[in-house]
Amino acid sequence: MMTPYDAITADTPNVWMTTFYGFDPAKWGFLGFANSGQRNTFVRETQPGALVVIYGHKSKASKDQQGQVIGVQQVSHRVNFAKAFMDPAEWAAKEADPESQGKWDIAVKATRAWKVAPESYQLIDDFADESYSLKLAQHIGSQGVRLTRNEADKLLDITLVETSVFGEIAIDGASPVFGRDLLQPSKPGPVSQQGYYTREAEGPKQNYVLRLDGDTDAFLGYPANGRSIVKVGMSVSPATRRDAFNAALPAGTYAWSLLRSNEMDNRPPFDNSKLGLVGEARMKDVLAQGGSSLGGEFFVASDKAIARAWAAGQKAVQEYSRVI
């Protein structure tokens, strides 16, 4: 099977695009077609390991994903009906919904997948400026279209987060990394039996503050007195970090929300992780003085203490930037 990097850099890129209503490979582990003729054409014109760039349907996807590049999946040439490649509960839901019943049932198995970090979303009109057009949208959605050399290369500069694919080894704790780092061929070695994860790549970073929403008193086991549980840190994609923390929580009333980030403040990302670490360290210092430490990057703090910590962290980065 072709590696993702080879698929992108081949003389004729083995990279295609299509549109989905959403992107959840852990439940929908396949690329679907309306009939066997369309699938046979795709298999004939690709090599195993083809990459498929997914953009949100311009009317059926959620508003924040409509027309945006939201994911990438790698597909094999293993074929079957969709039911064989998806979560049974999702299959039942699909068949119960008139919008999806009987659709996309002729399937090609996906083997790996990456979600695009929300901060890296871009319109398919811009990403595939040579291959996409509104008049081709229906054809793209039903059969897919191969990307050009310039378009395929753009995957190397997108921030991606590897995600689980139904029927494959689960992916746990993946960090957002740039496509050129994530998609490079890995060194040969024994196959891991554990979840796969990647170190977050160097590059532009944001500071962030996450807040744990829910009954804080119950979580702590003592009165919070109106304060919140927060986590401070840095990441290329604070929204992805939030999603990763939420994925580690069992279903219930608790969930992390993104309270502060450079993007939310309309501030540009910092140039590198060194600056992000300066801001993170300063926030920790302020919260340790004005709140209660829960260990590491976690604190119980009032809204005023959180605001002071955030301002102090941003100021510390600005001052550090002037002296380096």
**Residue 112 near residue 75, CB atoms below 8 Å:** no
Task: Please check whether residues 280 and 316 belong to one and the same domain.
Answer: yes
For residue 147, is it within any domain?
yes
What is the C-alpha separation between 119 and 218, in angstroms, rounded? 34
Task: Please check whether residues 38 and 133 belong to one and the same domain.
Answer: yes
Task: Please check whether residues 215 and 92 belong to one and the same domain.
Answer: no
Q: Is 312 helix (H, G, I), strand (E, B) or coil?
A: helix
What is the C-alpha separation between 136 and 19, in angstroms, rounded? 12
State residue 323's pLDDT score. Answer: 67
Identify the DSSP state of 222.
S
Identify the DSSP state of 77.
E
State residue 190's pLDDT score. Answer: 40
State residue 188's pLDDT score. Answer: 40
**How long, in residues, is the chain?**
324
The domain in which residue 148 lies consists of: 4-182
Identify the DSSP state of 156.
G
Cα dihedral 30, 134, 46, 127 sign? negative
State residue 99's pLDDT score. Answer: 87
Interacting residues of 239 by C-beta distance below 8 A, sequence separation 6+: 117, 118, 119, 258, 261
Q: In the chain, how many domains are there?
A: 2
In the beta sheet, which residues pair with residue 229?
212, 300
Q: To 10 degrees, what angle do helices 273-290 and 303-323 make?
A: 140
Q: Which mean pLDDT values do the consecutive 10-residue runs of the chain (324 residues) have?
A: 92 96 93 95 96 96 96 96 88 90 94 92 96 92 94 93 86 77 55 44 84 96 95 91 87 93 93 87 88 86 95 93 72
Instruction: Give the domain-ending residue among 166, 182, 198.
Output: 182
State residue 72's pLDDT score. Answer: 97
**Residue 192 near residue 176, CB atoms below 8 Å:** no
For residue 26, is it within any domain?
yes
For residue 62, is it within any domain?
yes
Q: Is 110 helix (H, G, I), strand (E, B) or coil?
A: strand
Task: Please check whether residues 216 and 78 belong to one and the same domain.
Answer: no
State residue 228's pLDDT score. Answer: 96
In the beta sheet, which residues pair with residue 211?
230, 257
CATH code, domain carrying 113: 3.10.590
Ramachandran region, residue 227 (left: φ > 0; alpha: ψ -120 to 50; beta: rest): beta
In the beta sheet, which residues pair with residue 32?
107
Task: Please check whether residues 225 and 149 belong to one and the same domain.
Answer: no
Cα dihedral 200, 206, 116, 251 sign? positive
Query: Structure pTM?
Result: 0.70
State residue 119's pLDDT score. Answer: 86
Task: Please check whether residues 255 and 175 belong to one and the same domain.
Answer: no
**123-149: burial string, b at 16+ Cβ within 10 Å, e else:** ebeebbeebbeeeebeebbebbbbbbe
